[in-house]
Structure 1
Amino acid sequence: TGFLFGQEWTQYSGIERNDIFQEYNEQPHEGDPTVLFNSGFQHLNTIRTQRDVWLLLSLSTQNWEDSVWVNDYQNTYNYDMNNNRTNYLRQEWFWYIWVNDRQYTYTYDANNNLTSHLSQNWDNDEWVNSFQATNTYDANNNRTGTLWQDWDGNEWVNSGQDLMTYDANDNMIGYLWQVWDGTEWQNSNQSTYTYDSNNNLISYLDQNWNGTEWQDGSQSTYTYDENNNNTIIFQQSWDGTEWVNSYQRHFTWGQLVPVISNIPDQEMDEDQSFVLNLSAQSPVSDALYVFSAYSDTSAVSLNVSSDTLHIVPAFNWTGSALITVVVALTNEASDTTSFNLIVHKTDPVITYIEDVPEDQGGWVYIGFLPSYHDSDTITSRSEMYSVERLDDNQWVNVASGVAYDEYEYV
C-alpha cells in the first residue's frame, strides 16, 4: 500500500470505482484533508493488477419493487489507451427512460498524472459546469498543488487551493489549504509531517489560521515495529492552553508468509521408499498451500503429491542427502525447511575371498561386514548369515552361521 496525502481524491474500494479507481466525485472541494485518523493520509492500494487486466465499463442498479426489478441508476465509463478513466457518466431512470444526471471528465499528462477534473450537471437538456480542479506536479510526479474553481454561470471563479511540499525522499512534509476571498488567497489550515529514516510518518500537526497567526488544532504520533508496521497511533487536541489526549489505536500484525513445519532428520534402509506428511501454518484463512521439494543428489528421487512427500533412493544406493521442502501460497509468499536423509546399508558386504593354503580341499576364507540389522539387541526376527555358491546357474548354500554382533565375520 501507499499513502494518499491530503485532499487529493476520495478513495473507493467498491466495484463501482473499478476496485482501485480514485476520483474527486462527491468530495467537497474545500474538503478536510484529515480524512483518516485525522492524520491527513488515506491508504491507497498500489497493486493495480485488476485494473490493468479488467476495466469496469458500466454499472447499473435496480430496486425490487412490487415483485419486479425497477431500474434506479446507471454509470458508464470511458478510458484512454493507458487505462486512465477519462469520463464517468451517471444517468437516472425516470419515466421509463435513462436521463442524464451528471458527468465527470478527466485529463492526464504524459506520466499518467491526473491534471484536471471537470464536474458537470445535466440541466435543461444540456451540460452545465459545476466545478473543476487543476493539478500541478513536480519533476518527481508529486502533486504540488490543486486549484479548485466553481462555475458562476458565466466564468470560473476561484474557490480554494491545495499546496504541498516534499522532502528529498518524496515524502510530503507540508500541506496548506487556502480559500479565495474574491480578491486574494487567505490561509485556512495547514498540516506538517515528519518521518523517520525509513520514511515512516512519525508525527502530524494540524493548525488553523485565525486571521493573524497559526493556532494548533490537533497532533498525532505514530510508532512502528521492526518491520515498519504501524503499531500505535496516538492523537491529542489543543484546548487553547495545553494538549489533551484524544484517542489512541493499537495494531497487531500477522505475517502473510506461510511457516512450514520443521522436519527432523530422517533415516531409512536401502532399497526402501519413505513417505512424509507435510504441513504449514498461515494467518490466511483457508490458505492454499503448494509444496515442492528437491534433493542435493540425483540418487534420491522426490515426488510431492498435495501435502505428501515420497522419497525413493536409487537401487543399492546408501549415504546421506540434504532434502529441502518449500511451501508457497497463491500470493507467492513462501518458506523453506531442510532435513538430512540417511540411507543405511542393510545387506552384508563381502570384503575378501582368500584361498586356504595347503588345505588340498579347495576351501576359501570369506570375509564380510555385518548386516545393518546385526546387533546385540533382542529382536523378533531370526538373524543368520548364509554363504551361497553359484553352481551351474544355481545358488547353493555352503555354510551358515548365527549373527552375533561382530564387526567382521570370516
Structure 2
Amino acid sequence: MSPEHWSPPSRPDSGQPAAATAQPSKDQVIAGLRATSEGGADLVQLLTPEGERISHPDFDLDITSEELRGLYRDMVLVRRADREGNALQRQGQLGIWVPLLGQEAAQIGAGRALRPQDMAFPSYREHGIAWCRGIDPTGVLGIFRGTDHGSWDPRETGFHLYTIVIGNQCLNATGYAMGQRFEGKVGDDSGEATMAFFGDGATSQGDVHEAMVWSAVYDAPVVFFCQNNQWAISEPLERQTRVPIYQRAGGYGFPGIRVDGNDVLASLAVSRWALDEARHGNGPVLVEAFTYRMDAHTTSDDPTRYRLNDEMEAWKLKDPIERLRVHMVREQIADQDFFDAIDTEADELAARFRQFCFDMPEPPPERMFSQVYAEGSPTIDRQREEYLSYLDGFADAHEGSAH
C-alpha cells in the first residue's frame, strides 16, 4: 500500500447488511504479524540486510556519500553511549537504564528527518532522537540516576522531556500539534510538524487511542512513530493486535505505513514523507518501524525468560549498523581509516560519558521544594523548613555519636 494510493475506508451502503467476514485464527494472526521477519510485502526498504541498495517506487532517496557517513557515525556513537549506560547501571551508578540496542536505524532515520521547527515527544528509550536534536548523551544521565527529570530545554531543542507513563506522550504530542494547527503553522513547506515516539506495547494504552482519535478529528500535524520491536516487555506482538500495527491507522481515517526499522535510509525517507504530509496540513500519519529489541526492555528485565535465543540470533543478521557499513564498503563510500576514526570517537565519547556520570553531584534535598513549583507559598516554605530541620536533627545525632 503506497501512501499516494491510500484512501479512507469506504462506508457501507445505507440499509444493506454487512457481509459476514471470517475471523482469522490465532495461527493466522501470528503469521500475519510475525511469521516473516522481513515485515511483509508492504514493508518499505531501501537497504537490504546484506547491504544492497534497492529502489522503491514511492520512497527513493537521493543521499550523498557524506550524508551516509554521517548516518553511520550517528548510529555508532548512539549505540556506544547506550552500551555505556547499560554498563553503568550494572555497576550501580544508575538506578535503571532503558536500552535501544537494535533500534538505532529507526531512531536516527526519524530523528534526522525532523526539521528545526518541528517538535518531538519521546517515551524513555529515544536516546537516538535526543542525539539528533542536539542533546549530548550525558544529558539523559540524570533521569536514570534519579537526580533530575531532564537537563534540556524542550523549547530550545524541539525535544520534550522523557515520558515514563506509557503512551502519555502521544496525548501531549497531539495537543501540541493541535496548537500548531490552530495557530496557522501548517500548510506549506515551511510549516511545523510534531512526532510522537512509542513502542508496540503502548498501542494497547487508551492514551494512544485517544490521541489518534483527536488528531484525526482536528487534522493535527502529528506523526505517530511506533517502534515495533516485537516485544512489549514480556508480551509478544500478537497480544497487542490482530492486524499489523500500521493498518490500524485506517480505523482512525489517516494513512499508515510500515518501514524496515533496521534500515536507516528507509526510516529517513518514510519519516520525511510523513512529516511533510503533516506540515502541509494533510493531517496525521502512523509509521510502524518494524525492528527488534536486541536487549532487555530495561535493566530490570530478563528477556531470556520469555523469548528464544534463536529469534535474537536471526535478528542479529539484520543489524542496522552492519548493513550500512557493508553498503559503504561495497560502494567505496568509506575506507578503514574512516571506520577507525569513528571507533576512536566512540571510545572518547564512552570515556567522557562514564566520567560525567562518576562526577555528577548529589542534588541537595532542598531542591525538591525550590525546583517543583514556579513560585513559593507559605505552605511550601513551612514544609521546607520543617524537612530541613528534620534532616539537621539526624546530622546532629550522627555527630554526637561520633564523639
- The answer to whether the superposition gives a TM-score over 0.5 is no
Normalised by the length of structure 1, the TM-score is 0.29
**RCO (CA 8 Å, sep 6+): is it higher in 1 or 2?**
2
Normalised by the length of structure 2, the TM-score is 0.29
**Higher-strand-fraction structure:** 1
**Higher-helix-fraction structure:** 2
